[in-house]
Amino acid sequence: MSESPGVKNQAPTKNANFKQKYFVFDQHRLIMFSNDDDFQEKGILHIKNARLKKTYLKDSKTKLFGFILMAKGQCIQFYSTDEQIIQTWIEKLKDTVILLDIKDEFLMGVLLGRGNFAKVHACTRKKDPEETKYALKTIEKASIKKCKRNI
């Protein structure tokens, strides 16, 4: 089991109160516990191919860094005042989930080609811009939905 630090999980309430929950990432699932010394699982979320989007909340007092996980009709929001904790979680999860904002991971370069539905850009990872060059194909869903052929 690959344990990560506990992260605040937004409670599904109408006000902006937070409940502290503890999660452990194990292969393709998140296991939830009530507190850090609890051994009884309170829930499991299977996150293989879940969607992950970085986010943050800012009020007059503090800024909370976070991410949203969307999987199988469920949406869970994770927040922390420590950006490094959130970044650690994202690094551990990114091989299992689909990152929604590709620009967080890659530097987009010149346009290499364009088709009916997609564009291809040269790009590099932000972590190692000098290492490997990639060709990144992006498809706009709206274009596909408008098309009568609907492949």
Rounded-to-integer distance, Cα 35 and Cα 24, Å: 11
Rounded mean pLDDT of 23-45? 76
Higher pLDDT among residues 93 and 141, named by residue: 93
With 90 as the cut, is the pLDDT of residue 113 above it? yes
Reported as a single tens digit per residue, the pLDDT across 49-108 is 888 888 888 776 778 888 888 887 778 888 888 889 888 888 888 888 887 777 777 888
Whether the model clears a pTM of 0.85, i.e. scores above it, the answer is no
For residues 33 and 7, the model is more confident at 33
The whole-number pLDDT of residue 102 equals 75
Please answer whether residues 99 and 106 qualify as being in contact, where contact means their C-beta atoms are separated by less than 8 angstroms.
no
Contact by Cβ (8 Å): 106, 96: no
Evaluate if residue 111 carries a pLDDT over 90: yes
Q: Give the right CATH number for 104-146 from 3.40.50.12780, 1.10.3720.10, 3.40.718.10, 3.30.200.20.
A: 3.30.200.20
Q: What is the CATH number of domain 2-100?
A: 2.30.29.30
